[in-house]
Structure 1
Amino acid sequence: MKCKMLFKLGLSVVVFVAVYLFFALQNQNDSDSQVMPEILNNQQHGVQSSKESGGQPSNIAAVDKPLRNEAWRNGIHLSLVACGDREKESVILLKSAVLFTKTPLVFHIFAELHLQDYFRRQIDFWPDDLRTRVEYHIYNLSFPSGEKPNEWKNLFKPCASQRLFIPDLLTDVEALLYVDTDILFLRPLEDIWAFLQKFNSTQMVALSPEHEDKQSSWYPRFARHPYYGEQGVNSGVMLMNLTRIRQSPWLQSLKHYYNDYKLKITWGDQDLLNIYFHYYPEQLYIYPCEWNYRPDHCMYMSVCRGGDKHGANVLHGNRRVMHNDKQPAFKATYDSFVRHQFGADLKYDMLVTLKRELEKTKHTACGKFPHIFYKQIERYIDSLDIYKNKESYGGKP
């Protein structure tokens, strides 16, 4: 009897220990599964903000301090905001940036939650030699709390006003190039980034004019609010010294102007920027039209002299002309970037294809000036050929 009792007691102890070990290991696995994806996500993609909208603008980047490497400190920071169906053209935009730029790039992508995995999948699939030059961070949308975030989000186009709050969100970034998603770079980003060095002591943002011709420009004819200069400015390609912006009355002024003029503005955040720089013109640097070349520059007659002479540097397909048939030259250029595969020859693949497709648009308004769409790409390729030739003959590049 005593042996039986000892056997039962021993068996109970063994079962108890086995059950305890099982649950202890299970809890450890659960803990690891919760922690590791967060760590991996921070290492590979940067830190995301905690709220999609309505959150208090916060130091998103500050949590990410260990990632501050050479690329972050000395690279080119490029930002966009993607909502709705803009994810595919956004990736083509990023593709155009990395194709012509040798300096390390840091992408800051603000996107709706359902679009974020698309960006990760696309960029992570890029060839290794390109990925080593690219660091990217994806953030949720974030608008000031207590300021009717849905009003800000839906101001003009969905999420477009996010750009106004980037200085207070990326407080660990000193300078940034913000662009709309319907942009293509036709020239290395080093060249537009160099405008930061041309700012005087008061300038903190660079924009291009809304138009070159006052009689055709929207602002002198229709605006019911103050605007910058004679023609106003376009906000699609916006180079920013974020450090100076944070030291200015930027955010509070924009909120104030929104409350004062929200019933009179048509183009949302762009109108607010025009109002701001009407009152603070000394803070704005104006770069030429070829750095923000739009259909307005060629749809009636060619009015961008820099584009005529040197070609467009940055192509801005606003009003969705990259996707419809209203300006076939813009669509042909966009489609050429879509079809181009990383690793394919720029000269004999992209440039030849682009010229061939532009030839088909010569009967259209903007298609009459095909060199505007390919001249800078051709110039970049020529510079690569010169470099290769010097190397092959033992010369210094």
Structure 2
Amino acid sequence: MRWKMLFKLGLSVVVLVAVYLFFALHNEDDSSSTSQVIPDQQTGQHEKDNLHLNKESGGDVGSTDDKSLRSDAWRNGIHLSLVACGDREKESVILLKSAVLFTKTPLVFHIFAELQLQDYFKRQIDFWPDEFRMRVEYHIYNLSFPEGEVTNEWKNLFKPCASQRLFIPSLLTDVDALLYVDTDILFLRPLEDIWAFLHKFNRTQLVALSPEHEDSQSSWYHRFARHPYYGEQGVNSGVMLMNLTRIRQSQWLESLKQYYKDYKLKITWGDQDLLNIYFHYYPEQLYVYPCEWNYRPDHCMYMSVCKGGDRDGASVLHGNRRVMHNDKQPAFKAAYDTFVKHQFGADLKYEMLVALKRELEKTKYTACGKLPHIFYKQIEKYIDSLDIYKNNEKYGG
């Protein structure tokens, strides 16, 4: 009797083990099918075959002409790029956060970063809630500058790594168009709106930039530049919309290298000066969009000089000279801090807009703080559009 009991117990154990192994192997097959690994055509590395892939580049970026191998986001989305060095990683993530908060079109982030910063970007973006994470495909690249005796000079031109933007067209050779921004940027409206400027380019234009100043008499370039520059005021390079296909077909890279040799002892603002020199000689290749698309402290610190910002509010906020982090321009810092504190998924009207207005009220005695609508008007407009859409949905409009 005892022998029979032991036999039944042993048989039960064998059956349980067999069932466990069956389900374990079945789950492993399912996992491998949903996380299929395919060669990455751009770097030769491997990546998961899904919408929001995470890729590291070895710095030397290759290309593929077969865009059918790319995701739908890559083919039809908005490509946004930044370069992060030093201590710029945190503000870079807040920049990306501002982009995804207001934008419905799929976004493709191209992040050029020092090695020690790359893991931070991965951890931060992968931690975003699915509602926002699913809108984003991101790629992380090592820094890459032209090889030769001036490689270190390129890397340290003006600010560390800032000149990387000049070489993006020759690195991302299967990207047709891209918006490059400095890391001290906040988007205050959907990226679809600035992306639409690409359709306003004529046949010769390949880059869009905003003026460095609105008044030629006050312009730094007009007063101090020792090199050629674009127009009467020069242009600012912080928000740079690029038709990369056209750039690659132009004399872009070789010209910039030559201008650096010719003017390196006369330039002050590094890569921005080189861009000004380039567009001085090729003005037909530049589209100039208005100041509200690159709104900086210079537009309000003495008097309000950006008419578009006065009328419609800033579309892109550019906190250059680190005003997002110091007390020199409290209104800019108030805007940045509001984006830092805002939680993904929180109500935009009450947790973003109302909070921003409350913080701006504290800055009303400062030059830029006297113009609070410039910092919130586009956000308010976006929220109003959402409310109209919801009402139409509710009542079948």
Q: CA deviation at 1:375?
A: 0.2
The CA distance in 2 between the partners of 1:118 and 1:333, in whole Å, is: 23
Q: Deviations over 1:243-264 (max 9, x none)?
A: 0000000000000000000000
How many residues are paired up? 355
Identify the residue that residue 50 of structure 1 maps to in structure 2: 58
1:39 aligns with 2:41: no
State which of 322, 325, 336 in structure 1 corresponds to 2:324: 322
Conserved? CA contact 1:184–1:315, under 8 Å: yes
1:241 aligns with 2:248: no
Give 3-state SS (helix, strand or coil) of 2:218's partner. Answer: coil
Conserved? CA contact 1:226–1:278, under 8 Å: yes
The CA distance in 2 between the partners of 1:189 and 1:246, in whole Å, is: 24
Give 3-state SS (helix, strand or coil) of 1:251's partner. Answer: helix
Q: Deviations over 1:357-383 (max 9, x none)?
A: 000000001000000000000000000
Identify the residue that residue 95 of structure 2 maps to in structure 1: 93
| Pairing of 1:270-349 with structure 2 (within 5 A) | 270-349=272-351
Conserved? CA contact 1:41–1:47, under 8 Å: no
1:181 aligns with 2:152: no
Identify the residue that residue 353 of structure 1 maps to in structure 2: 355
Give 3-state SS (helix, strand or coil) of 1:299's partner. Answer: coil
| Pairing of 1:55-204 with structure 2 (within 5 A) | 58-59=61-62, 61-62=63-64, 68-204=70-206
Structure 1, gaps ≥5 residues long:
1-34, 52-56
Identify the residue that residue 16 of structure 1 maps to in structure 2: none
The TM-score with structure 1 as length reference comes to 0.87
What one-letter code is carried by the residue in structure 1 that aligns with 2:96?
L
Calculate percent identity across the aligned residue pairs: 84
The CA distance in 2 between the partners of 1:192 and 1:40, in whole Å, is: 30
Q: CA deviation at 1:174?
A: 0.1
State which of 207, 212, 215 in structure 2 corresponds to 1:213: 215
The CA distance in 1 between the partners of 2:138 and 2:84, in whole Å, is: 14
Conserved? CA contact 1:47–1:64, under 8 Å: no
What one-letter code is carried by the residue in structure 2 that aligns with 1:297?
H
RMSD of aligned residue pairs (Cα, Å)? 1.8
Structure 2, gaps ≥5 residues long:
1-36, 40-44
Which one is further off, 103-112 or 386-395? 386-395
Give 3-state SS (helix, strand or coil) of 2:231's partner. Answer: coil
Q: CA deviation at 1:40?
A: 4.2
The CA distance in 1 between the partners of 2:231 and 2:49, in whole Å, is: 44
Conserved? CA contact 2:297–2:320, under 8 Å: yes
The CA distance in 1 between the partners of 2:286 and 2:379, in whole Å, is: 29
Q: Deviations over 1:170-227 (max 9, x none)?
A: 0000000000000000010000000000000000000000000112110000000000
The TM-score with structure 2 as length reference comes to 0.87
What one-letter code is carried by the residue in structure 1 that aligns with 2:56?
Q
State which of 262, 281, 297 in structure 2 corresponds to 1:260: 262
Give 3-state SS (helix, strand or coil) of 2:64's partner. Answer: helix
Task: Write 1 or 2 for the structure with the bigger share of helix.
Answer: 1
Identify the residue that residue 23 of structure 2 maps to in structure 1: none
Identify the residue that residue 377 of structure 1 maps to in structure 2: 379
Conserved? CA contact 1:46–1:64, under 8 Å: no
What one-letter code is carried by the residue in structure 2 that aligns with 1:280?
Y
